[in-house]
Amino acid sequence: MKNGKKGLSRRDFLKVTATTAAAVATGATAASAAPVKKPQARQGEVVIQFGLYGFWEIPAEGGPETPGQQAMQAFLDAHPNVKLEQIDFNIWDAGALLTGIAGGTAPAYYMSGVISGWSTAGTLASFKQGLFADITSLYQQYNIDAELSEFAANVNRAKIQTPEGNFYGLPFEIAIGNGIAFRKDLVEAAGFSPTVDWTWEDVRQIAAALTGEFVKGIAMQPWGLGWALTAEGVGGNNLLSVVPAPSTGWNWQRDYESHMGTIVMAVERFRAMMYDDESILTDVTSNDSVANDSLYNRTAAMATIPGQFLTRTGIPWPMSIAEEEGVPFDEIIGYLPQPRGVNGHFGQFPSNQPISFSPTLSSEQLEALIQMYVFLELGEGFDLRRRLAFEESGNLQQAFASWPFVRAKQSIDGVDGTPRDAWGALVDTAEYMSGIAAIPESGAFIPAEANQGPTDDAWNDVQSRLTFESGSMDVPSLVKEAQDVWNTQAADFESSVPDDEFKAAAAEYYAALASFWEEKFPDFYEGTFKEWYETVIADALGM
């Protein structure tokens, strides 16, 4: 008893409650402020942390279950000092990656394009800002170039190696280029037989013919208008709309007015598809996968998708449509590169999508990762994984998924078959697109930028309005507004590249471009590029 009263007094109860709550709050504060768990390695052990949604699988605790896990287990058996941990980190989240890299909590590897905007210049700039590990010595030590296909080694070389010779990435997935996948059976039934030389006018006619009550002719991402503009090389940050401006702080400007007629033509054609033909399936709420998903869901007969999606296995990739329909892949799915522009321009070149490594890794961790890459992507581990996938499914496409391979050897030990056996006529399209050869990129000539610049929001806003607003629109005014906004933004940025250095490098870059277009696409060169190069570019660079 206390103070003559039985049991707990109100004051005592409140004290106990408050003390308990304070203790819990203290614990929560301490836990939340605790250092992030770093891999706890025993003596000689190398612990590597993988993020979510990556490509290399960690063997299950009860033993490897999938072909990918079995291949990884084989690597771990050969390297018993290497331990893998899964962390709850989405490697496709750009913001999270930037924060993780800054804070030292990023997973071991990620696609460099996620934080670089998938461009070569952006990737180089990210390396210069210290967002990727320098793997030069390891790259040379393991002689990786000798194991790569010529395609993988040369396409977008600057995405893995700086002009100064530093390596910061490894080729991981070869993209043959962006194109349009379509239901070949439906297209042929409608009386069309498109070829690699098709145009956007052809696409419009086919899409209109295939549009029905429950099916749209073509599904596109919310920024699908960008495809049509890229075909012409105009708008956004496409070739003819980006001009060097060494007299400004940022060194670059947008110039949409010089080719306004082409922009207006492409926009009006797209809007005719949207609002007259009503043949495009897209929505502002859609994400990037809407096109591929719509093709799989049979709500669209065509879809704008990257080439590498074609050779991915499982739902909702196009290959699964053939499996569900029970017909050979190349009888039901067709794929062609994105159409050319009316001016002869071609905008969808093959690309290399490399992986890079966290700059906070130790040399031991980096070496283990390089060894892992060599085993799983270039060597025995690759053959093992693909052979097991084939044996499990009996499907050659499982063995030759994500073809073409980055490694030089395009066959698989223990699998009796070729890519053509797996993919049929698709191989012809892939070979055509990969044979176009990579266009020279600014990142390979112009020193990497250490500072960040304006976002693409100004153009994206206008592109979005041009896509989703019906009725009459003053396209030239809107496009000019996007140009002016971007240039206003750029005026407040300062490039890290000195003007003289920039001018010399840019001159070299545009000269390489001129040679490329003249050799590969002479009609575009003679009809459009040459005059632009000799007037606009020459003036800008004082040539």
Binding positions for other proteins, rule: CB under 8 A: 15, 18-19, 22, 25-26, 28-29, 32-33, 94-95, 98, 101-102, 115, 129-131, 216, 222, 281, 283-285, 299, 359, 450-452, 455, 457-458, 460-462, 464-465, 467-470, 485, 488-489, 491-493
Separation CA 236–CA 459 (nearest Å): 6
**Nearer Cβ to other proteins (101/537):** 101
CA 292 – CA 256 distance, rounded (Å): 31
Residue placing its CB nearer to other proteins in the complex, 102 or 543 = 102
Rg (CA), the chain: 27
- State in angstroms the smallest separation of the CB of 314 from other proteins: 22
Q: Quickly list DSSP for 423-480.
A: HTTHHHHHHHHHTS-PPP-GGGTSPPPSS----SHHHHHHHHHHHH--S---HHHHHH
CB of 287 to other proteins, least distance (A): 9
**Unique residue bearing structure tokens 């009796």:** 416
* Residue whose CB is less far from other proteins, 106 or 174: 106
Pairing of strands 300-306, 333-337: unpaired
Is residue 123 a contact partner of residue 116, using CB atoms and an 8 Å limit? yes
State the Cα–Cα distance between residues 441 and 116, nearest whole angstrom.
Answer: 15
> How long is the chain?
543
CA 392 – CA 453 distance, rounded (Å): 49
Query: Residue 315 Cβ, how far from other proteins at the closest point, in Å?
Result: 19
Q: Computed from CA positions of residues 432, 436, 437, 442, in that sequence, does the dihedral angle turn out positive or negative?
A: negative
- Comparing CB distances to other proteins, the nearer of 215 and 376 is 215
Q: Please name the amino acid found at residue 349.
A: F
Instruction: Identify residue 194 by its one-letter amino acid code.
Output: P
Decide whether 301 or 389 has the Cβ nearer to other proteins.
301
Taking the least distance from each CB to other proteins, the nearer of 77 and 213 is 213
Tokens linked to 431? 């070979």
Q: Indicate the DSSP class of residue 57.
A: P
- Token look-up 């080694």 returns 153
Smaller CB distance to other proteins: residue 79 or 465?
465
State the minimum distance, in angstroms, from the CB of residue 452 to other proteins: 5
Beta pairing partners, 351: 175
Between 360 and 393, whose beta carbon lies closer to other proteins? Answer: 360
When the beta carbons of 312 and 465 are compared against other proteins, the nearer one is: 465
Q: Listing from the earlier edge strand, what are the strands of the sheet with 109-111?
A: 109-111, 351-357, 170-175
Cβ atoms 69, 59 nearer than 8 A:
yes
Cβ-contact 445, 509 below 8 angstroms: yes
Nearer to other proteins, 289 or 535 (CB): 289
Least CB distance to other proteins at residue 224 (A): 13
Q: What is the DSSP letter of 401?
A: T
Smallest distance, other proteins to C-beta of residue 107, A: 16
Q: How far is the CB of 284 from other proteins (least distance, A)?
A: 5
Q: How far apart are CA 45 and CA 364, in angstroms?
A: 9
159's tokens? 């995405």
Q: How far is the CB of 122 from other proteins (least distance, A)?
A: 9
Which residues, 6 or more positions from 217, have their beta carbon under 8 angstroms from its beta carbon? 206, 207, 208, 209, 210, 211, 273, 277, 279, 280, 300, 301, 302
Least CB distance to other proteins at residue 349 (A): 24
Q: Least distance from C-beta 523 to other proteins, angstroms? A: 35
**Smallest distance, Å, CB 468 to other proteins?**
4
**With respect to other proteins, which residue has the nearer C-beta, 154 or 299?**
299
When the beta carbons of 115 and 506 are compared against other proteins, the nearer one is: 115
- Peptide bond connecting 246 to the previous residue in cis, omega within 30 degrees of 0: no
| Cβ 277 to other proteins shortest distance, Å | 14
Q: Is 164 exposed, middle or buried (0-12, 13-18, 19+ CB in 10 A)?
A: exposed
Name which of 457 and 523 has its Cβ closer to other proteins: 457
Give dist(CA 278, CA 217) in Å, integer.
Answer: 8
- Asked whether 126 and 132 are in contact (CB, 8 A), the reply is yes
Smaller CB separation from other proteins, 146 or 284:
284
Give the nearest distance from C-beta 215 to other proteins in angstroms. 11
Q: Shortest approach of other proteins to residue 283 CB, angstroms?
A: 5
Residue 488: how many other CB atoms lie within 10 Å: 11
Q: Judge contact between 113 and 123, C-beta under 8 A.
A: yes
